Structure formats: structure tokens, C-alpha cells
Amino acid sequence: MKQELVKLIDLSRCTACRGCQIACKQWNELPASKTHNSGSYQNPPDLQWNTWTLIRFQEHVDSKGTLKWLFRKDGCMHCTDAACAKVCPTEALYHTQFGSVSLHVDKCIGCKECIVACPFGVPKYDETTNKIYKCDLCYTRLNGNQPPACVQSCPTGTLQIGAKDAMLKKAYSRAKELGGDANVYGDKFVDGTHVIYVLPEKAEVYENLPADPKVPLSIVVWKDVLKPAGLLVAGGVVAGAFLHYITKGPKTPDEETTSEGGKQI
């Protein structure tokens, strides 16, 4: 049975304590990188193969001249129309029964197509293992009826997870309550994301957040238009390269492997 879940991130409640950032590393056993202070609280400076979520810190002066310190928990948005899964030639990236986008690490061949495809800059490549990594919404925890580690760690109620309808309702009611520029981000594009923000400011104010994210046109053309045309596109340069993987790749996901999305400690 499909139980579509949505993680709601209400940024109006975030204190940037970074409990989520650390809890993610702990649950997923992700090693720390050596970092430097570059003049910001934000660290690591960006998502990395070993940093699946991080708080972005941004100083913003609004039109009235009021200083705001914006915090945004960045990470995988778990799109319905997920460009990463669409381009993945080995079906390493796939949709789970919760609607989230998970990763069979063993199937990843390190082609990096997903990195190019993702409108949010989420998948990150690790040279040592020649694989990409990203948030899987704590798939093992969801299977065990537990909230993702980030949600579990959040002290202020910024992070919540629940049935899609309920979360959307909450999100809209919160945005209305906040008023002003507050808005809901996530349900209106890529057929809806499974991570939804309540943004206190307009989306374009936030750094590294596309105001109108789209699956790149090249992928749409290739996957949704050309691919159904089957062998007609075999001569196409781009599609031809990928056809190799499509025909060679494993046909059905192995059940045992899919239940091993994360590592327990």
C-alpha cells in the first residue's frame, strides 16, 4: 500500500540549532570533513557526499530596512517528477512507497547524470567510492514507522512528517497565519515535492533555492518524448549513450537490497 509522506519544514520556527544536520550524520554514519570558518556560521559550506542536509545562513535586509537572518535547511526535496531518478540509467535512484527518492548505492555507477539533472543541486559525488550520495528521507526509519533522524532531533517543531494532505493543509494554514510574504514552496512544481517549505520570505530571496524549479528540458525531451518512440531514437547521440545502460541494467529491484537504504548504528 502506498503511503505518501511529506516532510514539512516551517522555516519560521527554525533556530538554526543544526540538530538536524548533526542527527543526519549520526544516523547515516556520515564522516565529518575538515572545515574552515569562512566568515559564516554555515559549515560545511555546501551539501557534500557526506553532508546530506545543512542549514544555510543568510543575512537579508528587507525592503523596510529590517535585518533578517534567514535559516534554510537544505537537502533533497524528494520530487514526484524527480529528474535524478528519470536520468539514472541503472535505476539506482528510485521512488519508494512513501513517495521519497531513495538510492541503491550498489547500483550507482557514478555517471553523475543526476547531479546535472537535479534542479536543487542535491546529489553529490564521492571520488573514493565513485558513487553519488544524498538524503533518502531515512528510508529505513520510515519503514520502521519512525520519523527521519532530522525530524526526530528538531526541538522547535520546524520539522514534521506526515500524510501528504495533512502536511499541505498545515503548511497553507501556517503561511496564512504568518501573513506578509510567507508562502508554501514545493507543491506547485515537479508534480509536487515530498519536502515542503513554509518560507517566511519570497522564494527568490533565498540563496540556492530556485524560484521555479523544473526538470531540465533536455531530460523531458529525451525521457518523455524520445524514449517512448523506442528504436527511432537509437541513432540519437545522447539517447544512444544511455540506451546502453537501460538495456544492460538490472530489470527488477531486489527486495532485500531495497530494505537496506540506511545503516543502523
Minimum CB–partner distance for residue 185 and another protein (Å): 19
CB of 42 to another protein, least distance (A): 9
**Least distance from another protein to the Cβ atom of residue 74, Å:** 14
Closest distance between another protein and the C-beta of residue 112, in Å? 24
Tell me which residues touch another protein (CB under 8 A).
Answer: 13-19, 21-22, 25-26, 31-41, 43-44, 59, 61, 67-71, 155-157
Residue 90 three-state SS: coil
Cell numbers representing residue 190 in the block: 515537479
DSSP state of 223: I
Nearer to another protein, 50 or 143 (CB): 50
**Cα–Cα dist 183/102, whole Å:** 27
Enclosing H/E stretch for 73: strand 67-74
Nearer to another protein, 33 or 259 (CB): 33
Q: What is the DSSP letter of 96?
A: -
Compute the half-sphere exposure of residue 10: CA atoms within 13 Å on the CB side of its CA: 22
**Residue 112, Cβ density class (10 Å: 0-12 exposed, 13-18 middle, ≥19 buried):** middle
- The owner of cell 565529518 is 32
To another protein, the closest distance from the beta carbon of 17 in angstroms equals: 4
Q: Measured from the CB atom, is 58 or 258 closer to another protein?
A: 58
Question: Closer to another protein at the Cβ: 55 or 88?
Answer: 55
Q: Please, which residue, 67 or 237, has the CB nearer to another protein? A: 67
Q: What is the DSSP letter of 264?
A: -
Q: Which is nearer to another protein, 54 or 84 (CB)?
A: 54
Nearer to another protein, 16 or 85 (CB): 16
Hunting for cell 559549515 — which residue is that? 43
Q: Are 149 and 7 in contact (CB under 8 A)?
A: no
Report the alpha-carbon distance of residue 87 to residue 242 in Å, rounded.
9
CB of 123 to another protein, least distance (A): 20
* Burial bucket for residue 223 (CB in 10 Å: 0-12, 13-18, 19+): middle
Q: How far is the CB of 205 from another protein (least distance, A)?
A: 14
Q: Please give the Cα distance from 222 to 233 (Å, whole number).
A: 9
Pairing of strands 5-10, 195-199: parallel
Q: Grid coordinates 524560484 are at which residue?
A: 211
